[in-house]
Amino acid sequence: RVRKDHRAASIALHSAFGTQVLLGIFTVWSGVALWIAVLHQLVGALLVAATVWCAHLLGRRERA
């Protein structure tokens, strides 16, 4: 069974990853429009945070 907090973290991680990929493509496509590049950097920071969240949840031990 998937726990609720694991599901939320997984959705956050996958959403941030997909958004990051699309923003990266649009950044190059636009000739590096500044606002897209800045948004790409911000989503990158969110992606790191979501990855840490997932790693934290996976590293937790279950209580007996």
- pLDDT tier for residue 14 given thresholds of 50, 70 and 90: very high
pLDDT at 64: 57
Q: Which residue matches tokens 């969240």?
A: 53
pLDDT tens sequence across 32-62: 999 999 999 999 999 999 999 999 999 987 7
Q: Which residue matches tokens 């950044």?
A: 27
Percentages helix, strand, coil for the chain, rounded to the nearest 5? 80, 0, 20
Q: What is the pTM of this model?
A: 0.84
Angstrom CA distances, 32 to 5, 13, 21, 35, stand at 36, 25, 14, 9
- What token pair was written down for 2? 């998937």
Length of the chain: 64
